[in-house]
Amino acid sequence: MKEYNDQITELDPRRELPSVVRYLSADRLMGIIEQAQNGDTRELFALYRDVISNDNQVRSEFAKRKMAVTGDPVSIVPFRKGDQADVDAAVLCGEVVDNATFADAESWLMNATLFPVAVVEKVFAPLPGGGFALKALVPVHYQLLDYSQGAMRIFDVDETGNPLHTSHEVTPERYIVHRCDLMPAPDNWGGAMRSILFWWLLRTMSRQWWADLLERFGVPFLKGKYSDDKGKATLERAFRLAVRLGAIVVSKNTEVEVVQAANGDASNSHERFITLCNQEISKLIVGQTLSSTASPTGELGGGTANLQGEVRDDIRKADAKSLSATFRSQLFEQLLAINGRTGHAPKILFGSESIAEQKATLSLIGKLHEAGLEPDDDALDAISERIGFGIRRAATPQSPMLPFSAANIGAAGFSPLPLSAADAVNDHSAATRADDLARAFADDLAPIQDIIAASTSPEDCVIRVEDWLAQHNPANAADVIEKALYVYSMAGARSARPRNKS
C-alpha cells in the first residue's frame, strides 16, 4: 500500500475520450444516459465536458455558480475560541488555505453543483520533526470514476497515466468526495447536469431546423398569375430563366409578385425558442434569469429582481456551507489526527452574507445595544459566520485618570490602603498633580478632605461638596468640585481616609 506522500491518480490528458457532440442525436443521448445508469459513466461525463466547453450559456452560468463561492475570502475560525487546543488546531489547518493547490481543489470540488460528485486526492508530506503537512490536493478526473460494481471506485493508472481495467476503493484516508446535489438519485444517474442536456440538445438541433426554414421560406420567391395555358407556359419559362438572370419579362396581362416569407411569426420564432432554452438553463444553474438576460419586470422598486437575487444568495450560501462541511470532516479532522492534535476541527468560512443581510444583522446588534442588551459569547461564532470573518469583543477601554499611588494621594492629605510595589511606583506627573492637590485643599478648603473621606459614591461626594460650597461660596467653586471628584476617583471612598498627623 502506498504512503500518504505518493500520488496514485493522474490521468494522461491524451487518454481522454474524444468529443461525442458531433454526431449526437436524441436517440444517441438516451443511449448514453442508459449506459451511465448501468455503471459506465465515461461517455456521459465526456458529454458534460463537451457541453460546458462548447456552449457559452452553460459555461458562463456555471462559472457564476462556482465563482460565487471561490471568489469569496476564506477564513479559518476555531471551533471554540476559549480553548487553546482548538486555537492551535485552527492555526494548523489554516496552513491548508495557503497551499498552492487549495484554490484549484476548491474550484474542482465546486463541479459537484452540476456534476453528481467531485473527487480530490489528498497527498501529505512527512515533516522532519514528526507528523505530516498537506503537500497537494489533486483533482481526480471523471474518466477515472468507475460505477460498474455499484459503489463508486477509481480506475488504476500506470506510471504514464494510462487507465487500467482494474480499480480500487475510494477510501476517506486518500480522497475527498464532495456531493452537492440534493436530489435522491445515484451518482451514475448524472446529477443536475442531466436536466440541462435536453434543453441544450433542443437548442442545438434548432439551429439546423432554422437553417432548413430559411432555405425553404426565408428567401423571397416569385408568385405568378395567368389566365390561360399560354400565360402559364410563359410564366414557367420566365421563372426558369429568373434563376439565372434574376429578372423576368412577361406580357401585359400576366402578373408576377415577389412574396416575402418572413412576414409572420416565423421570422422570430427561432430567437424566442433560443431565449426559452437559455432561461431554463439559467434557472437550473443559478436559480434565476436576470443575471444573464436583462428583462423588464414592469415593477417599480425591482421586486422581482430582489426576489431572484435572494434565490441566488440562498444557493450561494448552501454551496458554501456544503463545501465547508466537506473540508472540515474529510480534510481538517484527518490532518489533526495524523499530527496527534486533540483540538476540534476548525470552521471554514467562505465569504459572508449579502450586503443587505449584513446591514440588517449590524442594525439589529445596534438596536440591542440601545436597549441595554448585547449578544453573549456563544453568539459571536454565529455572527462571524454571517459577516464572513472572525470577530471578538473589544477590550475594555482604560480610564484616562492618572494611576492611584502613594505619592499623589499621600501628598494631598490622604493615606491609601496598602498597595503593591508596582502600584507604588513614583510617577513624575502624578507627583506634580499631588502637589497641586495638596495646595488646593490647604487652609480654608481643608474640610474637603473630610467630605471626600465620608462620601460613599461620586454622586454623594458632589452633593456634600455643593452643600459645603453653599455656605462658604468660594470664587473657584467649579474647580473645587472638579478636583474633589478627581481625588475621589483615584482613591475611592473606601480607600481614602484622613492622614494620621501624629
Residue 425 pLDDT grade (very low, low, confident, very high; cuts 50, 70, 90): very low
Radius of gyration of the CA atoms of the chain, in A:
40
Q: Would you list the DSSP string of 287-330?
A: S-STTTS------SS-HHHHHHHHHHHHHHHHHHHHHHHHHIII
Once rounded to an integer, what is the mean pLDDT over residues 268-280?
82
Which domain range does residue 260 map to?
196-287
d(CA 330, CA 431): 63
d(CA 45, CA 40): 10
Whether residue 373 is found in the same domain as residue 314: no
d(CA 286, CA 306): 14
Whether residue 185 is found in the same domain as residue 126: yes
d(CA 459, CA 485): 9
For 336-377, write each residue's pLDDT tens digit.
999 999 899 999 988 766 666 677 777 888 888 788 888 877
Which among 102, 114, 69, 126 is positioned nearest to 176, based on CA atoms? 102
d(CA 113, CA 182): 9
Distance from the first to the final alpha carbon of the chain: 90
For 20-32, write each residue's pLDDT tens digit.
888 888 899 999 9
DSSP 15: G
Task: For residue 287, give the C-alpha cell.
Answer: 436559480
For position 474, what pLDDT does the model report? 62
Cα 395 to Cα 46, 68, 94, 363, 404, distances in angstroms: 57, 35, 25, 22, 21
Whether residue 215 is found in the same domain as residue 282: yes
Whether residue 54 is found in the same domain as residue 154: yes
For 164-190, write each residue's pLDDT tens digit.
999 999 999 999 999 988 788 899 999
Q: Is residue 298 part of a domain?
A: yes
Whether residue 216 is found in the same domain as residue 69: no
Whether residue 278 is found in the same domain as residue 268: yes
Whether residue 63 is found in the same domain as residue 128: yes
d(CA 150, CA 38): 9
Whether residue 161 is found in the same domain as residue 269: no
Q: Is residue 500 part of a domain?
A: no
Q: Which residue has the higher pLDDT, 492 or 138?
A: 138
Whether residue 12 is found in the same domain as residue 148: yes
Whether residue 294 is found in the same domain as residue 283: no
Once rounded to an integer, what is the mean pLDDT over residues 480-489?
66
Total domains in the chain come to 4
Whether residue 452 is found in the same domain as residue 486: yes
Residue 286 identity (one-letter amino acid) = V
Whether residue 259 is found in the same domain as residue 117: no
* Statement: residue 84 has pLDDT above 60: yes
